[in-house]
Every structure is written in C-alpha cells, then in structure tokens.
C-alpha cells in the first residue's frame, strides 16, 4: 500500500521514525519507479509510443520542455540499472530488453549525425530522435561521456555472458560495439566536451571520470576475450585520465570543480553523480578515484549540499546537520533553478555507498580533509581511525544513515500521490516541475534504494591505482599532411606556414613553420595535424623581418580519420 503524502507528513509529525517513513516510501515507490522507467522504453513501454525497440525516451514530455528524444547518457545510465538488475538475478525478465538496447545502440553508433560519421566524431553526438534517426537541430555537441557510459553498460552485460558460457556473443556482437566506443574515448578524451547538463564546453569532471572507468573495464574485458591489441593504448590513456582527474580538486574551496570552463563556482551535482557512478567497493575509501567514502568526496558532498541552503526557500530553517533539497548547481537558472530529484537522491546514494564500505571495513577514517563533514555529527571529532568497537564508529554510522535518509525523506515529501517523478521540484513550494516521468529520475530512485539495501555493484578495477606523477596529454589521432605551395620568391625571401591548430602554431607568424625550397618554385613541408578536423591555414612570406600574409580567405582542409594527405596550393 502506498501512503499518501499527507499521511506520511502526519506520521512524521506524530514522531514516526524517519527511517520508517523512508522504509515505507521505498516499499511503495520502488515498483512505481521501476514501472515508470520501463514505460519510457520502446517499443512497448506505455509512455514511449513511436520509440523503436530498446530506445529510452528521456521523458514523454513534448512541450516545455520537449524531452521526447533519446540521449546516449541517460539511456546508458538507465540500462546500467536494467543490466544490474538482470545480472544480479533481481529480475530475470529483462534480458529481451537488454538485447533490444544492444540492437538500438548498434544502429545509433552507425548513424551519421552533426558530430560526424562513425569514424569521424559521430560517437560524440549526445541526442537522437526516438525512431533512431539523427537529430539535426543545433545543440551542445559533442558530449564525450555517452560512449563511455554506453560501454560500461555493455561491458557489465558482457561480463555476465562470459560467466554464463556465452563468450561468442560477446566477441561477435558486443566487443565490436564496445571497441568503437572505447577507441573514441581513447582518442578524444583530451578534447573539450559539453558537460552532462549540455551547457558548458570545456573539460568536465563527470566526463573524465566515466571515461577513465570505461577504459579500465574495457582493458579487463579485452584481456578476458583475447583482444589484447587494444590493451597498451587503453592503459596509456587510462593513466592519463586518472592523472587529469586529480586536477579538478579545489583544495581551498573543498570541492571538485565540475568544469574547467563556464565561469561558475564549479560546485555541481556532476561531482556527486561521479562518485556514485564510479563506485567500486573494492577500492575502499580511495580518493584517487573519489570513492563515495573518500575524504575528498565527503568534503565535496558537504560543500555541495550546503551551497543550496540559502538558495532554495524550502530549505530555510533546516539545520546544517540535516539533509536539504539540492539541484544541479547553485547558479542554475533553468526553470528559475530548482532542486532535482536525481540530484537529491544522488547525495543519499553516495552516503549509502560510503556506509556500505565503512561497515565492510569495520572502521571509519577521519582525515583533516573530511573532518568538517564528520563534525556535522560530532562537533569535536578529531582526525583518526575509529574502529567498529568504538562508540564513535557506531554513533557516526547511525547519524550518517539518518542524514542520508533525510535526503530520501525530502524526495518522499515532494513526490505526488501517484508516485510520478518529474525532473525538478519547486524551490519555493516543493511542487513537481519541468518534464514529467523523467526516466533518469526513476533510475536514480532505484539505484539509491538499492544502495540503501546494501547492493554492491560489480567492481571495475578502481582498487590499487597509482596516480602517475606527470600528466600527459593526448592530441588524438593525426594525419600526415604535406603542404605544397607554388610561390615565386625574390632573393632572401622565404615561405612559412601557420594555421588554426596547435601543430600549425595557432596563427603565430613568429613561430610559423619554415617550408623547404628543394623543389622551387614549389615550397613544401610535411606536418602531423589533427584527424577529423576542419583546419584553416595560410602561407606567409618573410623577408628581412617583413611579413606578408596570403590574401583572404584562409585556405581550408577537412582532414580524414587517418592516413596521409597532400595539399597543392598556389600563393594567393
């Protein structure tokens, strides 16, 4: 039986323990969330009419906002939940749906779109139409987390198939798809991306972290099925990603900066979502991968939660030791900036994951970094390790469980009587807002509830990683380009080349590359330039310090995915 909202509030007023309120909410909301999620998956979901088999509709909402599209990120997170439920034996009826997802994604991978074709950047496309055709409107693209998250969902299924004697399906069908996605990650992680909220074009913590995770899992799978040729390349870039990941930490602010661009504080739900979507209980409280119970991730959680206390009026008067409603980031103005269900549930999930590890380890370590977090529950707590026989351990476990339950209780309180979860709830009234039946909201409820119940996701290899001391970048794939220009020169005059990419010295006349006159009047140089890129360039003459540029417009070349090209120009 589902308790109506009013009844829950009455019970709470009458002093029913919060944990009981949360137990009751989970009992009633779990089947609703599961049904809500399945209703948004084609072809037979009741709210996804028009969606092809295996396509996840972000929300059935078609106006204000129109979310009747399929996003690779959302779909992959949703299917990770489905794959987990299937592979852990929670629901054996889901296999057909997983097979539909594999089919749909194999079509989408091959669908040319505004980000490119399969080998020329198309795997960075964030969003498609629900009939599996390309979405061609303008959008924040590329978004480089989708291919990583998709491979994580597929690898989790592949690992189950191998354990269950079906390695041939993995080698024949799943691996080719996974390799496309992971090659994309390997080659492109070091280029700018739109973040998971599709607003900021820079580097993004969530994207870097899920890319790192995907490559690590991919390496293990590749070794298991004998695809060893990818291992050294993936390993090199996984190391680079792990190194780069550390750079998002802002020690003075006490949080992970969500994006390297964007001109905001950088305090963002992005980071809490990262902790839960890269949780690996084998890694304990390791801070190199920002595990949920790591000191950095806990201080980050505190900073993030507190940033919304004065921003949303529904949080007013709530003491800092108690849960608050949280949204994407405090500066948010979308729908005037409100709490999100999936963000609030994400905080609860991070804390449940942390509790799981502390209980597993039978100890809690408080460091100077995490001390402010633990001080919420015991103001005089000192850094140190508190073992399971200490009263500090048991009192922290119980207070943190209460604090975590508080976030679910807020969501329970803001869930309408029919149990539907939209995207947001109003910062002043608490009423549901924006897209209805958001598939990701339902997925976030299911994963938070599972974490509270002690669900341990499959390890992805986060244990025992060492951060490299020097971070190397990865310029990505290049092509060898020979530039030939027919230019007649006078004595003492030489020809140089510069252009729009770093390997052409980014329009610098001073550092422009000198061409050889061995085949005069043809001047030549061969340079590695980025593949799959629209490159602009110009030749310049230099004569005793006098620089003369070619006339406008710039020369242009759209480089292929690999190989060599020769450009035959005449001085203009």
Ligand X SMILES: *[C@@H]1O[C@H](CO)[C@@H](O)[C@H](O)[C@H]1NC(C)=O
Kindly state the number of chain residues that form the binding site for ligand X, as judged by CB under 6 A. 21
Q: Which of 225, 288, 522, 540 binds ligand X (CB under 6 A)?
A: 522
Per CB under 6 A, contacts with ligand X among 215-244 are 243-244
Q: Is 198 in the site for ligand X (CB under 6 A)?
A: no
Secondary structure letter of residue 54 according to DSSP: T
- Could you write out the DSSP letters of every residue in 525-542? EEEEEETT-EEEEEEEEE
Q: Is 199 in the site for ligand X (CB under 6 A)?
A: no
In this chain, which stretch among 47-55, 424-432, 490-498, 563-571 interacts with ligand X, using CB under 6 A?
563-571
CA gap 367, 240 in Å, rounded? 27
Q: Is 169 in the site for ligand X (CB under 6 A)?
A: yes
Kindly write out the interface string for residues 463-482 of this chain, putting x where it contacts ligand X by CB under 6 A and - elsewhere.
Answer: --------x-x---------
Assess contact for 477 and 187: CB atoms under 8 A: yes
In this chain, which stretch among 76-84, 184-192, 264-272, 276-284 interacts with ligand X, using CB under 6 A?
184-192
CA gap 277, 458 in Å, rounded? 11
Told to judge if 282 belongs to the known catalytic residues of this protein, a careful annotator would answer no
Given the residues 23, 198, 282, 413, select the one marked as catalytic: 198
CA gap 228, 526 in Å, rounded? 33
Given the residues 195, 353, 405, 437, select the one marked as catalytic: 195
Residue placing its CB nearer to ligand X in the complex, 13 or 470: 470
Q: Is 99 in the site for ligand X (CB under 6 A)?
A: yes
- Could you write out the DSSP letters of every residue in 191-248? S-EE-TTS--EE-BHHHHHHHHHHHHHHHHHHHHTT-GGGHHHHHHHHHHHHHHHHTT
Told to judge if 287 belongs to the known catalytic residues of this protein, a careful annotator would answer no
In this chain, which stretch among 55-63, 118-126, 177-185, 188-196 interacts with ligand X, using CB under 6 A?
188-196
Beta bridge partners of 259: 204
In this chain, which stretch among 36-44, 331-339, 525-533, 561-569 interacts with ligand X, using CB under 6 A?
561-569
CA gap 269, 347 in Å, rounded? 9
Assess contact for 115 and 191: CB atoms under 8 A: no
CA gap 69, 111 in Å, rounded? 15
Residue placing its CB nearer to ligand X in the complex, 231 or 522: 522
Q: Is 521 in the site for ligand X (CB under 6 A)?
A: yes
Q: Is 440 annotated as a binding residue?
A: no
CA gap 54, 154 in Å, rounded? 13
For 329-351, b/e burial (b = at least 16 CB within 10 A) is: bbebeebebbbbbbbbbbbbbbb
- Least separation in angstroms between residue 323's CB and ligand X is 34
Q: Which residues are annotated as a binding site for substrate?
A: 139
- Site residues for ligand X per CB under 6 A: 95, 99, 161, 166, 169, 190-192, 201, 203, 243-244, 471, 473, 486, 521-522, 566-568, 570
Q: Which residues are annotated as a binding site?
A: 139
Positions annotated as catalytic residues are: 195, 198
């Amino acid at each position: 039986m589902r308790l109506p909202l009013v009844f829950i509030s009455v019970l709470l007023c009458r002093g029913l323990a919060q944990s009981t309120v949360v137990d009751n909410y989970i009992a009633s909301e779990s089947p609703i969330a599961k049904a809500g999620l399945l209703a948004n998956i084609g072809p037979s979901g009741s709210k996804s009419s028009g969606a092809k088999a295996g396509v996840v509709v972000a929300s059935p909402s078609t106006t204000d906002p129109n979310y009747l599209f399929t996003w690779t990120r959302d779909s992959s997170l949703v299917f990770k939940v489905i794959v987990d439920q299937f592979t852990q034996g929670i629901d054996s009826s889901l296999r057909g749906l997983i097979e539909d997802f594999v089919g749909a994604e194999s079509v989408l991978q091959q669908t040319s779109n505004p980000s490119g074709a399969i080998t020329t950047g198309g795997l960075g496309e964030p969003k498609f139409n629900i009939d599996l055709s390309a979405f061609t409107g303008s959008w924040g693209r590329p978004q480089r987390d989708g291919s990583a998250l998709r491979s994580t969902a597929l690898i989790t299924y592949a690992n189950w198939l191998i354990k269950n004697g079906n390695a041939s399906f993995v080698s024949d069908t799943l691996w080719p798809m996974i390799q496309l996605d992971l090659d994309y990650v390997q080659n492109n992680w070091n280029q700018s991306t739109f973040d998971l909220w599709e607003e900021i074009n820079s580097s993004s913590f969530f994207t870097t972290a899920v890319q790192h995770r995907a490559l690590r899992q991919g390496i293990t799978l590749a070794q298991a099925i004998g695809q060893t040729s990818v291992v050294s390349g993936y390993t090199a870039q996984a190391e680079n990603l792990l190194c780069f990941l550390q750079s998002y930490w802002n020690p003075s602010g006490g949080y992970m900066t969500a994006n390297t661009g964007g001109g905001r504080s950088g305090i963002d739900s992005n980071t809490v979502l990262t902790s839960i979507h890269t949780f690996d209980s084998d890694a304990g409280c390791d801070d190199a991968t920002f595990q949920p119970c790591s000191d950095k991730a806990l201080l980050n959680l505190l900073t993030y939660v507190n940033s919304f206390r004065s921003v949303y009026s529904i949080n007013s008067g709530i003491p800092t030791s108690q849960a608050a409603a949280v949204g994407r980031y405090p500066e948010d103005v979308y729908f005037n900036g409100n709490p999100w269900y999936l963000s609030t549930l994400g905080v609860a999930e991070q804390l449940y994951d942390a509790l799981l590890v502390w209980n597993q380890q039978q100890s809690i370590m408080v460091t100077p970094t995490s001390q402010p977090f633990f001080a919420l529950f015991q103001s005089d707590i000192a850094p140190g390790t508190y073992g399971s026989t200490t009263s500090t351990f048991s009192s922290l476990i119980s207070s943190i469980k209460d604090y975590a339950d508080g976030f679910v209780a807020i969501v329970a309180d803001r869930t309408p009587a029919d149990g539907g979860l939209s995207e947001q709830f109003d910062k002043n009234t608490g009423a549901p807002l924006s897209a209805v039946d958001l598939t990701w909201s339902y997925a976030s409820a299911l994963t938070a509830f599972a974490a509270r119940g002690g669900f341990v996701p499959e390890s992805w290899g986060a244990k025992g990683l060492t951060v490299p001391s020097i971070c190397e970048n990865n310029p990505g794939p290049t092509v060898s380009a020979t530039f030939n220009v027919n230019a007649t020169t006078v004595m003492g005059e030489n020809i140089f080349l510069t252009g729009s990419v770093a390997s052409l010295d980014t329009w610098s006349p001073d550092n422009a590359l000198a061409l050889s006159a061995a085949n005069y009047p043809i001047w030549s140089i061969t340079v590695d330039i980025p593949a799959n890129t629209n490159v602009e360039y110009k030749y310049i003459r230099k004569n005793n310090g006098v620089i003369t540029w070619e006339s406008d417009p710039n020369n242009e070349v759209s480089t292929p995915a690999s190989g060599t090209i020769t450009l035959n120009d005449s001085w203009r």
